[in-house]
Chains A and B, each alone.
Chain A
Amino acid sequence: AQSVSQHNHHVILSEAASLELGCNYSYGGTVNLFWYVQYPGQHLQLLLKYFSGDPLVKGIKGFEAEFIKSKFSFNLRKPSVQWSDTAEYFCAVNAGNMLTFGGGTRLMVKP
């Protein structure tokens, strides 16, 4: 069975700091990869996705993620975070009809 690991459960950064959230998955076949974000009091939104092609994908709000197949990783990055990026971030892996989420990373950005 596939599994997704997000090793950082809580991250606290100051504004303008760089962000990298780790995501590793276990599945040997073809996968689609996603990052979702849930801002306080709001529902989940898609941040970015990877299906094929360029392994460096750009998402909304300046986020990007890099798919490294050899490392089974899909880390989320942002060069300079803002207070409004405070949210919970979920990595997800889709194989067949199954979409498996990581445990989430709660990001707090201090103004």
Chain B
Amino acid sequence: SQTIHQWPATLVQPVGSPLSLECTVEGTSNPNLYWYRQAAGRGLQLLFYSVGIGQISSEVPQNLSASRPQDRQFILSSKKLLLSDSGFYLCAWGRPLHFGNGTRLTVT
């Protein structure tokens, strides 16, 4: 069966520090992968999606970036976090979407 792993579950980082969130999928090959953010009081916002290794589409301009170094690995990064980057980040794959458990990021 397919599973999706996302870590860490919670993260507290100071402003200006780097970020790396990792997501891996098991039990499937060449999945469509997505990063979503749910900011407080707002709905889900698509940040990035990838249809294959090295293929990244960005939906919202921001100081975040994504990479897909392997078929089932999707990484969300930032070189310098902003306060406004705080939120709940969800990795997802497939259609319909299957979500990871999410990472709650607090930038202080």
Contact = CB atoms under 8 A, between A and B. Distances in A.
Given A90-B43, A104-B43, A104-B44, A99 B102 contact: no
Interface residues of A, number: 20
Interface residues of B, number: 20
Contact of A90 (B32, B44, B51): B44
A107 to B, nearest CB: 14
A99 B90 contact: no
| Interface residues of B, dominant DSSP | strand
A87 to B, nearest CB: 14
A99 B42 contact: no
B99 A44 contact: yes
B101 A43 contact: yes
Contacts of A99: 34, 46, 95, 97
Given A34-B96, A46-B96, A102 B43 contact: yes
Contacts, number: 48
A90 B49 CA distance: 19
A101 B46 CA distance: 8
Contact of B102 (A6, A43, A45, A94): A43
Interface of B: 32, 34, 36, 42-46, 49, 51, 57, 90, 95-102
Given A6-B43, A49-B96, A100-B46, 16 more contacts: A43-B90, A44-B97, A44-B99, A45-B99, A46-B96, A46-B97, A94-B95, A94-B96, A97-B32, A97-B49, A99-B95, A101-B36, A101-B44, A101-B45, A102-B43, A104-B44
Interface of A: 6, 32, 34, 36, 43-46, 49, 90, 92, 94, 97-104
